[in-house]
Structures are given as structure tokens and as C-alpha cells.
Structure 1
């Protein structure tokens, strides 16, 4: 499986700065540091759904529980981010 980079969500709706990205391996490092607490990541809506599925598969192979939700922050259906919990 190709290790991808995913775009992190912006910290503000009005932010025009380029979004930062994070690799699956970097996410795994953060989770390992947190131990049983796991981690929560907020990902940009520009990430493709197939890449989110690859992320889920990557961590499930590492025996981690993964929960992915869409968080809508306005009434507009296009205004959302992905919330990813990995334990």
C-alpha cells in the first residue's frame, strides 16, 4: 500500500494559508507517543474518500480502532472536515 499524505484541516474558516499535510507514518508516531489515549486528527474535505479508506486500513492492520466522521460547521453541505479518532 502506498503511503499517502493527507491534508490537515485549516484552523480557521477564513484562513487562506496553504493547508499542511501529514503522512500515515507521522500519524502513527503521534499515536505511539500517546499510548492508549490514541489521537484525534482533523482532515480537510479536499482529501479523497479512497485515501481516508486507505488510512483506516493502514491503522486496522496495526490493530488500532479507527472512527471517521464528517463534521459540518455550517448549514452548507460543502462545509465539512473529517474527524478521525485512532485508538
Structure 2
């Protein structure tokens, strides 16, 4: 499963990360916050949350608005081992 991380600038292309890399980083640090781009489908992100929770991770997922435009949002996912 490939997901797009949030862009660092408006014109930049989002970088991708896979589920195994996410799990590796969380296990190494104990907890981690990831920010995902709005180009990810909500369904894919919910699938990621379900897979992580089934493997014993605690996951907090929310949509973060950073502007007044309807498309000014990113997804914040806080994962704890």
C-alpha cells in the first residue's frame, strides 16, 4: 500500500511511503505522527488504520484544515506502538 505524504510546499509533488516503512518507523521510535496529502483517498487511509490497529498499534486519525478553501486540508495520523 503506497500513500502520499503531505507536500512541504504548494507546488511540490508529494512523496510516497508504504505501510511497511510506516510500521518500521513507529516501532523504532515508539510513536510517530504522519501527515498525508489530500490526494490520498479516505478509503485507503481507513484501510491503513484498520491494518495497523489489527497489528496492535493505536491510531488517531483526523483531517486538519489549514486554510479557508475547501481543498486546504491534510490528514494527520498519530500512531503509537
- TM bucket, shorter chain: over 0.9
Which structure 2 residues correspond to residues 1-87 of structure 1 after superposition, within 5 A?
A: 4-12=1-9, 14=10, 16-35=11-30, 38-87=31-80
**Which aligned segments of 4 or more residues in structure 1 are displaced greater than 4 angstroms?**
none
TM-score between the two structures when normalised by the length of structure 1: 0.87
**1:56 and 1:76 mapped to 2: Cα distance?**
27
> By percentage of residues, which structure has more strand?
2
> Structure 2 length normalisation: TM-score?
0.93
What is the root-mean-square deviation in Å for CA atoms of aligned residues? Answer: 0.9
Secondary structure of 2:12's partner? coil
How far apart are 1:17 and its partner, in Å? 2.5
SS in 2 for 1:70: strand
